[in-house]
Amino acid sequence: MAIKKVVENVFNVGVDHWDREVFDSLIPLPDGTSYNSYIVKGSEKVVLIDTVDVKKEHLLRKDLRALGIDRIDYIIANHAEQDHSGCIPAVLNMFPESKIVTNTKCKGMLIDLLHVKDNDFIVVEDGEEMSLGDKTLKFILTPWVHWPETMSTYLKEDKILFSCDFFGSHYATSDTFVVDEARTILDAKRYYAEIMMPFRKIVAKDIDKVNQYELSMIAPSHGPVYQNPKLIIDAYKEWVSDDVKNVVLLLYISMHGSTEKIAEHLIDSLISKGIEVKPFNVLTADIGQIAMAMVDACTVVLASPMVLAGAHPRMISIAHLANALRPKVKNAAIVGSYGWGGNMVEQLKSVIPNLKVNLFEPVLIKGLPRDDDYERLDKLAEEIAAKHAEDCNL
Ligand code: FEO
């Protein structure tokens, strides 16, 4: 991408990956993504903070050349994952005198992932500072956003926090800074849901840790730079809190229409009781949208037909994902239709041990729902509404 000036002597030389469609062979990228990589020019030393995915090495080289960079003294590695570290070997190749600056844990991971040599590193401790002449970097360990080795780098004189994945968003944009705050928060929420949410208790501590510094900007390694750091910090504080909203996430799949009728009836019944419903057909839904809905839903409903003596495999897969993402959801319900039998309830319960939820009485319906079945669904909706009144302080 074109070089993006952040402030005097600080530039984003990273890359927008406009057409990347999926991350980790799992996460859909409706807006592509970006790998931000920052040059900080001090009066004595020049550093590169994080690099880019190896697929875009040629564009990083191009930007470094275009900016006239003829030396990089230090490569700061905030995170070992390859979308940021992948071009470290290339940068070392371009500037053989460079040293990689990172924490002990990240060093070990970079050696394993990239086969970088041990003597290419300078290891820093939490809170350690490094002078670049007229600029000073401070290294702040922020573990589990979203790997154990993650750290942030604070540029003291300009009050910029380079947070890598922390506060980021998968969003390829020609803008240097946040322009549309509402859109950015949605992208950031999706990103939080997909990779940060499982660690929200630790993320809460990391937020407090970086928030003690005066911040003029947060410059993540995905998405635009925040000139209003409070915007994303306040959003993160809400997401990691224990507060839930009066929302039911209804995940359903149907084979011959019976479970679809169950889902449709339950949606209407919940809405009539003042509950916001976010329904997704798990056959086709974007799992990023599902993950976002998990961030603050009070209840999740799994609606599946019984097949092969258990829940539909697509539902098992999405329940497994929910279990791994560990949302703060407080209640769960299992509903569905069956033809002759199976053990869907115990099977699904066994897939979600990480969800510390109140489980409502399941509603399993033989074949196409009848009037008394719809009444059972209405009763479930009433129970959900009553529980939401407690859990959501309505
Ligand atoms: Fe953007 Fe965890 O890498």
140-173 pLDDT, tens digit per residue, is 999 999 999 999 999 999 999 999 999 999 999 9
CA of 171 to the centre of ligand 1 (A): 13
Closest Cα to atom 3 of ligand 1: 81
**pLDDT beyond 60 at 18:** yes
Q: What is the secondary structure of 39-65 as a DSSP string?
A: EEE-SS-EEEE----GGGHHHHHHHHH
Given a contact cutoff of 8 angstroms between Cβ atoms, the answer to whether 231 and 345 are in contact is no
**pLDDT beyond 60 at 84:** yes
Same fold? 4-240, 248-387: no
What pLDDT is attached to residue 341? 82
**Hey, what are 299's tokens?**
């209840």
Closest Cα to atom 2 of ligand 1: 81
Given a contact cutoff of 8 angstroms between Cβ atoms, the answer to whether 275 and 388 are in contact is yes
**Rounded to 5 degrees, what are φ and ψ at 197?**
-55, -35
Given a contact cutoff of 8 angstroms between Cβ atoms, the answer to whether 56 and 15 are in contact is yes
**Paired strand residues for 131:** 136
Classify residue 177 by its DSSP letter. B
Kindly indicate the confidence band of residue 1, based on its pLDDT and cuts at 50, 70 and 90: low
pLDDT mean over 90-104: 98
What is the residue extent of each domain of the chain? 4-240, 248-387
Q: What is the value of pTM for the model shown?
A: 0.97
What is the spatial distance between Cα 124 and Cα 128, in angstroms, rounded to a whole number? 6
CATH 3.40.50.360 assigned to domain 248-387? The reply is yes
Does residue 81 line the site of ligand 1, with CB under 6 A? yes
* Range list of H helices, the chain: 57-66, 82-85, 88-94, 104-114, 181-191, 200-211, 229-240, 258-272, 287-294, 313-325, 344-351, 371-391
What is the spatial distance between Cα 360 and Cα 332, in angstroms, rounded to a whole number? 6
> In angstroms, what CA-CA distances link 390 with 31, 34, 224, 275, 327?
38, 41, 38, 13, 18
User: What's the pLDDT tens digit per position in 210-221?
Assistant: 999 999 999 999
Ligand 1, atom nearest to 195 Cα: 2
What pLDDT is attached to residue 40? 98
CA of 83 to the centre of ligand 1 (A): 6
Given a contact cutoff of 8 angstroms between Cβ atoms, the answer to whether 64 and 92 are in contact is no
CA of 85 to the centre of ligand 1 (A): 9
Q: Among 96, 211, 83, 238, which residue's Cα sits nearest to residue 142? A: 211
Phi-psi label, residue 309: left if phi above 0, alpha if psi -120 to 50, beta otherwise: left
Ligand 1, atom nearest to 146 Cα: 2
User: What's the pLDDT tens digit per position in 270-319?
Assistant: 999 999 999 999 999 999 999 999 999 999 999 999 999 999 999 999 99
What is the spatial distance between Cα 130 and Cα 16, in angstroms, rounded to a whole number? 29
Q: Among 274, 273, 291, 296, which residue's Cα sits nearest to residue 377? A: 273
Classify residue 295 by its DSSP letter. T
CA of 80 to the centre of ligand 1 (A): 8
What is the spatial distance between Cα 182 and Cα 283, in angstroms, rounded to a whole number? 29
Amino acid at the residue 8: E
CATH superfamily of 4-240: Ribonuclease Z/Hydroxyacylglutathione hydrolase-like (3.60.15.10)
Given a contact cutoff of 8 angstroms between Cβ atoms, the answer to whether 176 and 12 are in contact is yes
Tell me the longest C-alpha to C-alpha distance in the chain.
78
Kindly indicate the confidence band of residue 324, based on its pLDDT and cuts at 50, 70 and 90: very high
Does residue 84 line the site of ligand 1, with CB under 6 A? yes
Ligand 1, atom nearest to 164 Cα: 1
**pLDDT beyond 70 at 242:** yes
The neighbour count for residue 131, using CB atoms within 10 Å, is: 13
CA of 40 to the centre of ligand 1 (A): 21
Ligand 1, atom nearest to 222 Cα: 1
CA of 336 to the centre of ligand 1 (A): 38
Question: Which strand (E) or helix (H) includes residue 140?
Answer: strand 136-141
CA of 170 to the centre of ligand 1 (A): 10
Ligand 1, atom nearest to 221 Cα: 1
The chain-wide mean pLDDT, for the chain, equals 97
**pLDDT beyond 70 at 121:** yes
